[in-house]
Amino acid sequence: MQLNYDFDRKDSVFLVPLGGLGEIGMNMMVLGHRGKAILIDCGVMFPDPTTLGIDLIVPDIQFLNDSKLQIEAIVLTHGHEDHIGAVSFLIEDLKFPPIYGTPFTLALTEDRLREQGRLNRTKLHSVLPGSEFKVGTYFKIKSIQVTHSIVDSMGLIIETPVGTIVHSGDFKIDSDPLDGKRIDEKSLIEAGKNNPLLLLSDSTNVERAGWSKSEHSVGQGIEELFRKIRTGKIIVAVFASNIHRIQQIIDSAKRVGRKVAFVGRSIHGNVEIAQRLQYLKCDPAQIVAASEVAGQGDGKIVIIATGTQAEPRSALYRMSLNDHPEIRIHPGDTVIFSSRFIPGNERNISHLINNLYRRGADVLDGETANVHASGHAHQEEQKQLIDWVKPKFFLPVHGEYRMLVKHAKLAKQCFPKLQVLISENGDVMELSQRAFQKVGKAHAGKIFLDEGATDLHEELLKDRRQMAHSGLVVVSLVVEKDEGRILEGPDFDIRGVNDEVDLDSLRSELLGRFKELSREARGDDIEVEEEFRRVTRRFFRRANGVKPVVIPLIYEV
Ligand SMILES: [Zn+2]
Ligand SMILES: [Zn+2]
């Protein structure tokens, strides 16, 4: 479907996901009317083993420029990286629209903007759950308190020129959240009474039956475990932003007479913000610095650390290699993963766990002990939300493609009259009183960033993967410019390829090919390079079955 859509239409609004639909991560939804639009979330995705050397992936926003849409605001539902992580990278290209979010979300976003030197030019509007605010020219939003694995998460009830849209944000229905702030059921039911048009809902846990565990029950699980472990250090790995989990670990530690040390840069950052906003409370006398850990008695310390996904620079990873400047793991210590293993990271995590065992530690995780609860709704909660909101149309969001399909099926099974659409990144959807449909395909893609935050294209990653997979061969040659004679070479520089091959025969094959080339072709660098690349790759393929990346270097003198 070619994109030939009039974004100026009066009788409908349009939605275009630029990330998050068909994948977990990089959430970004464009919602617009008459040439103006807002963005809901602006997140990153983390690299996997196929994106070698890449640190971050952000949505490609080319479509916004191509369609000349004016982005009037960014609304952030909560502070997880897959919702806020791309703001500091994209805000300039987006021409610095104002940002709306809850205090914790904005505090995290502010830190990143400051790091990137873009804070001065950004307007941040703090909104509290339950408040109503106008966003851009055409939209009015009521922020809805939801429960999730980070404090200050919100869903959205959006009044648009054609009707109401409800966006769940990332949510679960925790009937017993630590701060007592339950999901705003009342507002959602109220919205449901006014014939809302569309519900967008979190699909992450559609493969899990029943209800998710409450955060409180995890606290009990952690405390029971702490009571059983009488000796050694306890190291708990958590997501740095999971403030309620951190609070429960601190409280449990206090009750069993252990002090707490925070280890890892992002933990310190998140804890500092949470304390400032009074989302986290702890007795300063209970906290010790990482440098004081070694001086604490046996069985007297809990370390709260980053590194649940075996990130190479994280505190836990460095401890596992005995490479942390302050913390040593000793036999008898216990490491608890109070987290989920994100698919794609299992290999690295298992490597990390093996190294923790090498240090003599015992390792427990959320699968084997009651030390983790998901922040995302299970099936019964997903159904409950639809039942509250009673929308006319339904769009599953925040999920890999199969999750979107399963969420659509689940919704349809329980609410047969519901009209369901399954969409992926780039689909242009039109919503009116009468219909909700796909009307075209916009460009959507990924921008790969390395540590220097330079854009890397898919093509370049393909080269990296090929070099990693099959190695690299540089073929160099010195050619006399006028006569087209070879003065030196070809010589080979071989990396990551078995070089016990008959290089003399490759050399004579290349020389033979060179001589066969016409006088004209010999003077044409590109033609010679192409020929050398082809012959060399074919040679290695015959010799040892690999097709390395070949770089011909022709020097003319
Ligand atoms: Zn989230
Ligand atoms: Zn998310």
In terms of domains, do 144 and 34 share one? yes
| Beta strands across the sheet bearing 234-237 | 259-263, 301-305, 234-237, 334-337, 362-365
* pLDDT at residue 524, as a whole number: 74
Q: Give the pLDDT confidence of 420-462 residue by residue, as tens digits.
A: 999 999 999 999 999 999 999 999 999 888 766 566 666 777 7
In terms of domains, do 98 and 245 share one? no
CB 522 within 8 A of CB 484: yes
Instruction: Considering every ligand atom shown, identify the ligand nearest to the alpha carbon of residue 150 and give its number.
Output: 1
* Residue 465 belongs to some domain of the structure: no
Q: Give the pLDDT confidence of 522-539 residue by residue, as tens digits.
A: 767 788 888 889 999 999
* Residue 318 belongs to some domain of the structure: yes
Radius of gyration, alpha carbons of the chain: 28
* pLDDT at residue 457, as a whole number: 67
State in Å: Cα 354 to ligand 1 middle.
29
Of residues 108 and 54, more confidence is placed in 108
State in Å: Cα 25 to ligand 2 middle.
6
Q: Which of 433, 456, 479 is the last residue of a domain?
A: 456
Q: Is the pLDDT of residue 288 over 70?
A: yes
* pLDDT at residue 315, as a whole number: 95
Buried b (16+ CB within 10 A) or exposed e, 25-54: bbbbbbbbbbebbbbbbbbbbbbeeebeeb
Rounded Cα gap, residues 81 and 103, in angstroms = 16
In terms of domains, do 225 and 257 share one? yes
* Residue 425 belongs to some domain of the structure: yes
In terms of domains, do 499 and 444 share one? no
In terms of domains, do 197 and 305 share one? no
Q: Give the pLDDT confidence of 163-208 residue by residue, as tens digits.
A: 999 999 999 999 999 999 999 999 999 999 999 999 999 999 999 9
Q: Which of 364, 385, 416 is the last residue of a domain?
A: 364
Q: Which residue among the candidates 170, 174, 202, 427 is catalytic per the annotation?
A: 202
Instruction: Considering every ligand atom shown, identify the ligand nearest to the alpha carbon of residue 105 and give its number.
Output: 1
* pLDDT at residue 4, as a whole number: 81
Instruction: Considering every ligand atom shown, identify the ligand nearest to the alpha carbon of residue 148 and give its number.
Output: 1
Of residues 44 and 368, more confidence is placed in 44
Instruction: Considering every ligand atom shown, identify the ligand nearest to the alpha carbon of residue 374 and give its number.
Output: 1
Q: Is the pLDDT of residue 264 over 70?
A: yes
Q: Give the pLDDT confidence of 126-155 residue by residue, as tens digits.
A: 999 999 999 999 999 999 999 999 999 999
Of residues 541 and 407, more confidence is placed in 407
- State the average pLDDT for the chain: 93
State in Å: Cα 530 to ligand 2 middle.
46
Query: Domain containing 534 — which CATH number?
Result: 3.10.20.580
Helix H or strand E encompassing 236: strand 234-237
122 φ/ψ angles, rounded to the nearest 5 degrees: -105, 135
- Tell me whether strands 70-75 and 163-167 are parallel, antiparallel or unpaired: unpaired
3-state secondary structure of 295: helix
In terms of domains, do 260 and 196 share one? no
* Residue 257 belongs to some domain of the structure: yes
State in Å: Cα 154 to ligand 1 middle.
10
State in Å: Cα 403 to ligand 1 middle.
16
Longest CA span, the chain: 87
In terms of domains, do 186 and 264 share one? no
Beta strand extents in 362-496 (DSSP E only): 362-365, 393-397, 399-400, 419-420, 427-431, 436-441, 446-449, 455-456, 472-480, 485-495
Q: Which of 364, 396, 423 is the last residue of a domain?
A: 364
State in Å: Cα 285 to ligand 2 middle.
35
* pLDDT at residue 433, as a whole number: 96
State in Å: Cα 148 to ligand 1 middle.
7
* Residue 461 belongs to some domain of the structure: no
Query: Domain containing 423 — which CATH number?
Result: 3.60.15.10
111 is known as an active-site residue: no
Rounded Cα gap, residues 289 and 327, in angstroms = 11
* pTM tops 0.85, yes or no: yes
State the residue range of the domain holding 432. 13-210+374-456
Mean pLDDT of 1-21: 89
Token pair of 500 as six digits: 């016990």
* pLDDT at residue 499, as a whole number: 83
Q: Give the pLDDT confidence of 364-410 residue by residue, as tens digits.
A: 997 788 899 999 999 999 999 999 999 999 999 999 999 999 999 99
* pLDDT at residue 465, as a whole number: 75
State in Å: Cα 384 to ligand 1 middle.
19
Token pair of 556 as six digits: 């003319």
State in Å: Cα 226 to ligand 1 middle.
28
In terms of domains, do 30 and 156 share one? yes
Rounded Cα gap, residues 143 and 153, in angstroms = 9
Instruction: Considering every ligand atom shown, identify the ligand nearest to the alpha carbon of residue 146 and give its number.
Output: 1
Strand partners, 155: 144
174 is known as an active-site residue: no
Instruction: Considering every ligand atom shown, identify the ligand nearest to the alpha carbon of residue 25 and give its number.
Output: 2
In terms of domains, do 164 and 17 share one? yes
* pLDDT at residue 466, as a whole number: 79
* Residue 462 belongs to some domain of the structure: no
State in Å: Cα 40 to ligand 1 middle.
13
* pLDDT at residue 267, as a whole number: 96
In terms of domains, do 289 and 345 share one? yes
* Residue 82 belongs to some domain of the structure: yes
Which string of DSSP letters, residue by residue, matches 77-98? ----HHHHTTHHHHTTTTT---
Q: Is the pLDDT of residue 50 over 90?
A: no
Q: Which residue among the candidates 376, 378, 398, 407 is catalytic per the annotation?
A: 376
State in Å: Cα 203 to ligand 1 middle.
12
In terms of domains, do 261 and 289 share one? yes
How many structural domains does the chain have? Answer: 3
First vs last Cα of the chain: how many Å apart?
53
Rounded Cα gap, residues 276 and 103, in angstroms = 11
In terms of domains, do 33 and 168 share one? yes
Kindly list the distances between the CA atom of residue 152 and the CA atoms of 126, 218, 413, in Å, as whole numbers in the listed order: 11, 19, 32
Q: Is the pLDDT of residue 520 over 90?
A: no
Q: Is the pLDDT of residue 481 over 80?
A: no
Of residues 481 and 60, more confidence is placed in 60
Q: How confident is the model at residue 338 (pLDDT cuts 50, 70, 90)?
A: very high
| Percentage of residues in the chain having pLDDT higher than 90 | 75
Token pair of 492 as six digits: 């080979």
* Residue 464 belongs to some domain of the structure: no
User: Residue 226: CA atoms inside 13 Å, Cβ hemisphere, count?
Assistant: 28
Least confident of 28-37, 270-279, 407-416, 542-551: 542-551
Query: Domain containing 263 — which CATH number?
Result: 3.40.50.10710
